Amino acid sequence: MQQRELGRSGLRVSSLGLGCMGLSYGYGPATERNTAIELIRSAVEQGVTFFDTAEAYGPFMNEEVVGAALAPYRGKVVVATKFGFADGDVNAGLDSRPARIRAVAEQALQRLQLERIDLFYQHRVDPAVPIEEVAGTVGDLIREGKVAHFGLSEAGTDTIRRAHAVQAVTALQSEYSLWWREPEREIFPLLAELGIGFVPFSPLGKGFLTGTINASSSFDSSDFRNTVPRFTPQARQANFAIVEAVNVIARRKQASPAQIALAWLLAQRPWIVPIPGTTKLQRLQENLGATRIALDMADLAYIDEALSHIEILGDRYNSDRQKLVNR
């Protein structure tokens, strides 16, 4: 597995990380604990050194599982977690007050079985707390040795610049994939200017870009995709055109659509590190196979041309969730 540096931070991680959210939150019932631990450890054995979790995934359960799984590899892997929701509950509102940030850090260290959090993200920007206060608090935690690097998630350009002026931002985590390319317009130029890495979540379009979801697919009642406009049956039927376009390259490369979608991301910038998630060992191996696929200029040009003729139907979030992004 090749390594990448997140921006100019000096933090080096595997070129693909593992997003652990789906093991306990968002996509239906939680994965059985031992099965989840086995999957995480399999990722390590296959070269993954970058793992993403948060107190809000569960809540709390995800950090505990990640901590247990990675305990034998302490010092050999990079663990990212997040603060920012009241009581760790995504439905309870935002809370990035300094006291809360400190409390989350202390609790995360215990659940993750770590002496220092490698990368500590603000999960969503809290308009009630100036970003300078947030950055300053994380900066204090860094100086105290409890945190190594500061990150933001779904933040807008003004917030990123203001935070970075107080405490260097190592990485921005936001959605980015073949069917959500908004960060390219304003975010990427700023990250390149400031030397900040980019960690795309949902790099496979919440599973849609794998080609295994179509208009007739159904989701568990607790799966948050039931609330996403882009996942209505009508939208899925219309949006399948993007999978068909990717499949042209997939057949040429003898790869899966998921592998092409991830290889495309890796080809965009050298400081991009996607974090696809999965609950299945087979899918983990498939995703990691993307690191062995090289897309040439003709492949990338074909994809760009094909996508330019496809209009994606549906917003990526419902109206309530959309209010939390690009602040």
The catalytic residues are 57
d(CA 155, CA 166): 15
Phi-psi region of 7 (alpha: psi -120 to 50; beta: other; left: phi over 0): left
Q: Which residues of 284-299 are buried (b: 16+ CB within 10 A; e: fewer)?
A: bebbbbbbebebeeeb
DSSP letter string, 70-107: HGGGTTTSEEEEEE-BGGG-TTS-B---HHHHHHHHHH
d(CA 98, CA 2): 37
Reading the block at residue 71, the tokens are 């305990």
Residue 134 — φ and ψ, nearest 5°?
A: -60, -50
Reading the block at residue 241, the tokens are 């055109």
Chain-centre distance for alpha carbon 7: 16
Q: How far lies 272's CA from each of 16, 67, 191, 300, in Å?
A: 9, 25, 10, 16
**Locate tokens 């609790």: which residue?**
107
DSSP code, position 30: P
Q: Is 240 helix (H, G, I), strand (E, B) or coil?
A: helix
Reading the block at residue 132, the tokens are 């300078």
Cβ atoms of 34 and 23 closer than 8 Å: no
d(CA 82, CA 151): 9
Rg (the chain; Cα; Å): 19
